[in-house]
Structure 1
Amino acid sequence: MENSVWVLCPVCGNKTRDRIRIDTILINYPLYCPKCKQETLINAKDLNIMVIKERSEKSL
């Protein structure tokens, strides 16, 4: 797992619970941040992360 990097939250900039490698491809991946409790749809390819849509979790 030397070649992997942490995926950072695009909202708050903290580490999420996910790691990606250089050969990882994510399409419409729902990235959840445990700190700011935001869910964001992302695409990832060649360690480049592109935000598709940001949405917040609603509390019940």
Structure 2
Amino acid sequence: MLSINSQWILCSVCGNKTRNRIREDTILKNYSLYCPKCKQETLIEAKNLQITVIKEPDAKTQSRKKAILPVPAGFF
């Protein structure tokens, strides 16, 4: 049987684990991630265990900004 890596999605605001887990073959687009600890909601994308936070556009700019979160060493 093939072993697939998985990890918990961490909150981009407080850094704690959320209730969501992704595998290395998971692809998320415009996923609304909720953190039960800080009660914040964040829009994310995920591919190949790389989480990208999507920042909502301001009233002045119409482009989306992305920030790539690093995966902690020894996390797997």
The answer for unaligned runs of 5 or more in structure 2 is 57-76
TM-score calculated relative to the size of structure 2: 0.66
1:18 corresponds to which letter in structure 2?
N
Question: What is the aligned partner in structure 2 of residue 31 from structure 1?
Answer: 33
Name the Cα RMSD after superposition: 1.7
Larger gyration radius, structure 1 or structure 2:
2
2:55 aligned to 49, 53, 57, which one? Answer: 53
Partners of 2:27 and 2:51 in 1: CA distance: 10
Bigger RCO of structures 1 and 2 (CA < 8 A, at least 6 apart): 1
**What SS does the aligned partner of 1:13 have?**
coil
| Residue 41 of structure 1, CA deviation | 0.1
Give 5+ residue unaligned stretches, structure 1. Answer: 55-60
| 2:59 aligned partner | none
Identity %: 76
Name the structure with the higher strand share: 1
TM-score (norm 1): 0.83
CA distances 1:4-30 after superposition (whole Å, capped 9, x unpaired): 100000000000000000000000000
Runs of 4+ in structure 1 displaced over 3 angstroms?
none
